[in-house]
């Protein structure tokens, strides 16, 4: 398997050009800080499920970010996620998924306990720039 890195502002245009029906966004976020022994009460776990607000269908590959903590997760095929070692307190959770409007939600993580945040996303039309595809037959210009 080869890793291909592409940088573009218009991900939808890139996907259309490549002929890909589904795009996957890879997000690199920092790792959670190591929790020193005895400090478990100052950290908790954030879990939940991401679904489509209109249909209730679980959304796979949605990106969940706690930007202030520099950590995140990606939902599994059942729309579930888990982020461990989240510092106790209020955090803004950002949810991103291709074809859906980005969402933000405030959550309060309690140290030593799991916090459940079930999140919903609303579909959003992706606007593309004009795309022209030309085909040149062999032997013709």
pLDDT band at 45 (very low <50, low <70, confident <90, very high): very high
Residue with tokens 């190591």: 34
Instruction: Return d(Cα 72, Cα 104) in angstroms, integer.
Output: 13
Q: What is the pTM for the complete model shown?
A: 0.63
All domains of the chain in start order, with CATH: 11-121 (2.60.40.1120)
75: pLDDT confidence band, cut at 50, 70 and 90? very high
For residue 90, what are its two tokens?
A: 């209020």
pLDDT in tens, 92-106: 999 999 999 999 999
**pLDDT at residue 121 is higher than 90:** yes
Please check whether residue 68 is in contact with residue 110, taking contact to mean a CB–CB distance below 8 angstroms: no
| Tens-place pLDDT, residues 123-136 | 998 777 887 888 88
* Dihedral sign from CA coordinates of 49, 54, 59, 61: negative
| pLDDT, average across residues 12-35 | 40
Higher pLDDT, 85 or 29: 85
Instruction: Give the mean pLDDT of 40-60.
Output: 91
């Amino acid at each position: 398997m080869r890793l291909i890195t592409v940088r573009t502002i218009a991900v939808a245009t890139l996907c259309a050009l490549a002929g890909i029906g589904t795009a996957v966004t890879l997000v690199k976020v920092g790792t959670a800080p190591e929790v020193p022994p005895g400090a478990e009460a100052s950290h908790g776990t954030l879990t939940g499920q991401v679904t489509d607000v209109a249909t209730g269908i679980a959304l796979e590959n949605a990106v969940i970010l706690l930007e202030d903590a520099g950590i995140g997760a990606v939902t599994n095929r059942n729309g579930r996620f888990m982020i461990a070692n989240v510092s106790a307190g209020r955090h803004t959770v950002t949810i991103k998924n291709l074809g859906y409007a980005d969402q933000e939600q405030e959550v309060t993580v309690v140290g030593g306990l799991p916090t459940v945040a079930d999140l919903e996303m609303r579909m959003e039309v992706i606007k593309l720039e004009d795309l022209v595809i030309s085909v040149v037959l062999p032997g013709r210009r």
